[in-house]
Every structure is written in structure tokens, then in C-alpha cells.
């Protein structure tokens, strides 16, 4: 089982829709969770950090559920410009006390007019 | 703004050549990372470094080595390039997290180097 799993999609939604992505992780000792956005042929860029208490940034809401070992990203009122691939990042512990960033394979979102 | 630069956007090399990919960051970040990204496989960590002259293997280190002689520069080396190393290579940097557990702060990525080995 891969450490971090995402539904690859694509999620094809109309403008104005609400869409949610989940990302599951296998190591319960994981720390530091993030969502990144990657546009076609560009580098990933941080979208949001994810905290246990949940956090919101405008139309975007991220949640962490440690009991079920998943993080989620909710996008409300989708815009055409939200079309991109969304990557989740989880940091499971590794030897030597460090934490190793592990990316999901990404979920593709296509917002159409 | 944090800036992470990579020496080349596109590179074409022949099988067996030694290849150097350079990455420089200008924000005094302790952590630096090398990933490769392939369709359907996502980003996979090759090597990372938490300090100068320090390196640790990621998930797929075979066929690669790294060098970090200065804090701002992290080099990826393909000792003898092979066609299965054709990929997009992404460098990233981040601040060291708090405490001995080295929790990861957000990563800043360079624009990537698309390497083709023929």
C-alpha cells in the first residue's frame, strides 16, 4: 500500500460547483500536512498547510482527520482558474528522527464554463 | 520572495554521460531536496539534505548522488545517465522545522529541469 493515496480524477466540474478531495495516509505517526497546487508544466506551489483544527483561506478549506488518517481539501464556488493538479504532502517519520516528505500522485481538477 | 533556481530548463544527454543538475536557493534555507516527477508516478524523493555536507537517501536514490558543499547549493549527479532517468527533475528548499524531530516547513520549488537521455 502506498503511503499517501489520492484519487487521480480527473474531477470535471462546472464553474461555481463545490468539490472535495481526500488524501489518505498509512503512517499514523505522520506530521506536517500540506496541499500543493501544480499547474501544467509548472512547479508545485503551496496552497495550504493543514492543521487538526482545520483551516480556511477564502474559498478553500483544509481538514485533518487523524483518527481516520486522511486530509481533505474543499473548494467552494469553483473558478476556471482553479483547474490544476492538487498534491497532498504527508511527512511520516524516518530513521534518525527526521520526517520525510511524501507526495500523493495528485488529483486533477478541470473546471469548465 | 524565496527564489529557487535550477541551472537548466531543458537538457539532452547521451546514455553513459555524467550529468550535473544544479540548484541554488537564496533564502538561507537549511533543507534542500531533489525529486523526479513522472506521469502517473507523481513526485518521488531522490535525496535530501538538512545541512551543508549532509545528505540522506530518499525513496529512489539508485543511480544518483548529491553534493552540498555550500548551504545555498545542492547538486544532483547522474554518474552514468540511462534512458530510464529521462524525467522532470525538481529541486526544493525549506526552513528547518522546530525541535529535534525536524518537522518539515513548506517547500519552495524550482522551475524544474526536463532531462532527456537518448
Q: What is the 3-state secondary structure (H, E, C) of A13-61?
A: EECCCCEEEEEEECCCCCEEEEEEEECCCCCCEEEEEECCCCEEECCEE
Closest CA to A87 of A42, A12, A34, A11: A34
Minimal C-alpha gap between B112 and chain A (Å): 7
Q: Looking up cell 490544476, which residue turns up? A: A84
A62-94 pLDDT tens trace: 999 999 999 999 999 999 999 999 999 998 877
pLDDT top residue among B1 and B116: B116
What confidence score (pLDDT) does residue B103 get? 57
What mean pLDDT do residues A21-43 have? 92
Contact B90 A34 (CB under 8 A): no
- In chain B, what residues touch A31 (CB-CB under 8 Å)? 101, 103-104
B104 band by pLDDT with thresholds 50, 70 and 90: low
The pLDDT of residue A96 is above 70: no
Q: Answer positive or negative: Cα dihedral of A77, A79, A83, A85.
A: negative
pLDDT at B101 exceeding the cut of 60? no
Q: Are strands A107-112 and A11-14 parallel, antiparallel or unpaired?
A: parallel
How would residue A52 be classed by pLDDT, with cut points 50, 70 and 90? confident
Instruction: Report the percentage of chain A scoring pLDDT > 90.
Output: 73
Q: Is the pLDDT of residue B102 over 70?
A: no
3-state helix, strand, coil in chain B (%, to 5): 5, 50, 45
Instruction: For chain B, give the mean pLDDT.
Output: 91
Q: Is the pLDDT of residue B49 over 60?
A: yes
Q: How far is CA B24 from CA B19, B96, B116, in A?
A: 17, 17, 22
Instruction: Give the residue from chain A lying closest to B48, CA to CA.
Output: A100
Are residues A35 and A50 in contact, defined by beta-carbon separation less than 8 angstroms? yes
As given in the structure block, the three cell numbers for residue B10 are: 531543458
CA distance A24 to chain B (A): 15
Measured between beta carbons, which residues in chain B are less than 8 angstroms from residue A100?
A: 45, 48, 58
- Residue from the list B42, B48, B111 with its beta carbon closest to the beta carbon of A103: B42
Amino acid at each position: 500500500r502506498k503511503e499517501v493515496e489520492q484519487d487521480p480524477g480527473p474531477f470535471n466540474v462546472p464553474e461555481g460547483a463545490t468539490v472535495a478531495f481526500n488524501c489518505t495516509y498509512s503512517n499514523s505517526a505522520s506530521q506536517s500536512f500540506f496541499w500543493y497546487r501544480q499547474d501544467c508544466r509548472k512547479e508545485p506551489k503551496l496552497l495550504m498547510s493543514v492543521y487538526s483544527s482545520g483551516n480556511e483561506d477564502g474559498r478553500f478549506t483544509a481538514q485533518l482527520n487523524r483518527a481516520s488518517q486522511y486530509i481533505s481539501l474543499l473548494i467552494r464556488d469553483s473558478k476556471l482558474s482553479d483547474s490544476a493538479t492538487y498534491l497532498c504532502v504527508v511527512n511520516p517519520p524516518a530513521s534518525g528522527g527526521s520526517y520525510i516528505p511524501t507526495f500523493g500522485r495528485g488529483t486533477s481538477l478541470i473546471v469548465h464554463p | 520572495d524565496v527564489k529557487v533556481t535550477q541551472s537548466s530548463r531543458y537538457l539532452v544527454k547521451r546514455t553513459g554521460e555524467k550529468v550535473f543538475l544544479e540548484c541554488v536557493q537564496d533564502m538561507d534555507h537549511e533543507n534542500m531536496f531533489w525529486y523526479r516527477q513522472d506521469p502517473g508516478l507523481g513526485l518521488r524523493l531522490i535525496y535530501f539534505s538538512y545541512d551543508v555536507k549532509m545528505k540522506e537517501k530518499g525513496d529512489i536514490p539508485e543511480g544518483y548522488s548529491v553534493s552540498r558543499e555550500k548551504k545555498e547549493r545542492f547538486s544532483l549527479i547522474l554518474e552514468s545517465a540511462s534512458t530510464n532517468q529521462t524525467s522532470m527533475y525538481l529541486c526544493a528548499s525549506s526552513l528547518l522545522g522546530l525541535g529535534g524531530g525536524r518537522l518539515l516547513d513548506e517547500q519552495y520549488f524550482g522551475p524544474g529541469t526536463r532531462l532527456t537521455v537518448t
